[in-house]
Amino acid sequence: MPLLRTILLLLLVALLLPVIHAQDAPFHIMLKPVTQKDAMFPGLQSYAYAQHGGKWLLIGGRLDGLHRRQPWATFDQEGHNRRIYVIDPETQQWWWSGLETLPQPLQEQLSATNMQFYQNGNALYLIGGYGHSPSYGDHTTFAYLTRVMVSELMNAIVNKEPIAGYFTQISDPQFAVCGGRLDKLHQTYYLVGGQWFDGRYNPRNGPSFEQIYTNQVRRFTLAETDGKLTVLHLPPFTDEQNLHRRDYNLLPQIFPDGRQGLTAFSGVFQHNQDIPFLNSTDIDSSGYVVNNRFSQYLNHYHCATIALYDSLTNQMHSLFFGGIAQYTADQNGALLQDADVPFVPTLARITRFADGKMQEYKLPVEMPVLLGAGAELIKNPMLPVYPNQTLKLHRFANDTVLLGYIYGGIESTLPNIFWNNEGDLSIATGRLMQVYLVKSKPDVDLPLHIPIVQSSNGLGLQLFPNPAEGDFYVHFTLAEPTSVHLSILGLDGEVLFEKDYPNLTAGKHQFRYLMGGIRQKNMLVKVTTDRGATYSQKVVIND
């Protein structure tokens, strides 16, 4: 009977889903492990990096895995990275220098986690970050911008020479940010999202911390006079709803009209619910635009990413590698929701087409383990790029191209470990993987890229909690005014509830479904609008 019920459920889902087809992939992705988790490289996650001369400079981050939930144990000092590393991925050699010879403010920031960073030529700019401050007497978010002279520092570390002369640090309360992202368009830097976090983390919102999201894109320019850095702050973009995000992915983009910009994908948490964002926000020099017609269901937290643009087809591809997400997808594109937001091995592609529409795809390749959160994909510096660092896919001369390396990150033994994170259930890994793009179809018969239809239907449907133990909420967003028909169906297709909601306004809507006396193990929620958008999603009911 359990097998029969599973088959009936899958058939019902298939009948309710729109008819879709897997896309002929514009390219394939191949992962080639260089090292395993017990490699000679140091384990590191949520770090900042720069590169020069084929070597990498790694600063900050954590030496342990997922943070503990108890305030006395979380983000402990033993997990702070108090070394600066230089790594040669080709020869697999590495060197390091401690921070002990540096002034106290530098020591504190350079051992922080989740700094915002950007490399501009030979300068690596570090902003903020969270960690323990001996001078403050507690954990805090550092209000610093630090410039690192990359090649000089790397040479000093390799040659075991003093390093103190290669840093310039300034203090500014606008830079007290962690968990955001830093990028640059033209001559302006963009500090996007993030938060100020002071004290020790507490999952129950206890009195051990204060937290303030920036809700902003903070813009500024930098100048140097007589060896001193000068910051000119520009008017920020502020949005308490859509820029209220952290620990997300910010990727450079080429928009369909040729403009260079940035897109903020997913992240946490929505202003009124502790669930990830599904929409995205496009940013350029003129402002920002929220895209509620697209929903990202895979790869919600910061993970390894890369962006490629094909000018021949006017298609912008953003790739995401593993990490943490509220949803996974099967080979038919059907979504499975997990309210605990687990670690996932998913590789996904989001493509923006010439008409501006966006579509999410599940790739047939997966990470070798639950890996990707807090990792970076360090690009192959020999590849052609636009000024905003988007790769020029149409300029790739060879069929198989090394995009770069995925290094480090959190490696978890199980999808959901947060509430039982007492031992070594996760680590900061030293794994190193090469990432290849293959333009031709491989000899083996790989599944095609599977579209996540719900990502482009404009509803952004979410159910929470899911799994549920009773009542649950149905949350969706309307891009324009419309009427909605909501129905709840049982495993056998029986309609348990249905109701029409006429003339709903554009924007977010939420309804509560009361279980009452009707309790089934699995149910399907179907939302249909009078403008043709429809989708169904499963909710699991625990006994």
Verify that 432 and 487 share a domain, yes or no: no
What's the mean per-residue pLDDT of the chain? 89
The enclosing H or E element of 10 equals helix 2-16
Verify that 193 and 68 share a domain, yes or no: yes
The enclosing H or E element of 8 equals helix 2-16
Question: Looking at 418, 453, 488, which one is the last position of a domain?
Answer: 453
Residue 276 and residue 266: Cα distance in Å, rounded?
6
Verify that 47 and 6 share a domain, yes or no: no
Domain assignment of residue 531, given as a range: 2-10+457-540
Model confidence at 10: pLDDT above 80:
no
The 3-state DSSP class for residue 455 equals: helix
CATH number, domain containing residue 523: 2.60.40.2150
The 3-state DSSP class for residue 97 equals: strand
Verify that 65 and 194 share a domain, yes or no: yes
The enclosing H or E element of 119 equals strand 116-120
Asked if 289 and 272 touch (Cβ cutoff 8 Å), the reply is no
Tens digits of residue pLDDT in 38-71: 556 899 999 999 999 999 999 999 999 898 888 8
Verify that 404 and 485 share a domain, yes or no: no
Verify that 491 and 351 share a domain, yes or no: no
Verify that 496 and 433 share a domain, yes or no: no
pLDDT of residue 442: 59
Asked if 179 and 153 touch (Cβ cutoff 8 Å), the reply is no
Whole-Å CA distances, 238 to 214, 242, 483: 8, 9, 31
Question: Looking at 453, 488, 511, which one is the last position of a domain?
Answer: 453
CATH number, domain containing residue 379: 2.120.10.80
Asked if 534 and 540 touch (Cβ cutoff 8 Å), the reply is no
Model confidence at 463: pLDDT above 70:
yes
DSSP string, 148-186: EEHHHHHHHHHTT---GGGEEEEE-GGG--BS-EEEEET
Dihedral of the alpha carbons of 437, 431, 343, 422, in degrees to the nearest 10: 180
Verify that 480 and 439 share a domain, yes or no: no
Given the structure tokens 């981050």, which residue do they identify?
61
Verify that 160 and 34 share a domain, yes or no: yes
Verify that 429 and 480 share a domain, yes or no: no
Tens digits of residue pLDDT in 79-124: 999 999 999 999 999 999 999 999 999 999 999 999 999 999 999 9
Indicate the number of domains in the chain.
Answer: 2
Residues 420-446 as b/e (b if ≥16 CB within 10 A, e otherwise) read: ebeeeebbbbbbbbbbbbbeeeeeeee
Model confidence at 128: pLDDT above 50:
yes
Model confidence at 1: pLDDT above 80:
no
**Any residues with CB less than 8 A from the CB of 52 and at least 6 apart, and which?**
122, 150, 151, 154
The enclosing H or E element of 108 equals helix 104-110
The tokens describing 208, both together, are 């051990």
Verify that 310 and 175 share a domain, yes or no: yes
Highest-confidence segment of 189-193, 225-229, 506-510: 189-193
Q: Of 443, 449, 347, 386, which is closest to residue 394 (Cα–Cα)?
A: 386
Question: Looking at 429, 453, 477, which one is the last position of a domain?
Answer: 453
Verify that 436 and 530 share a domain, yes or no: no
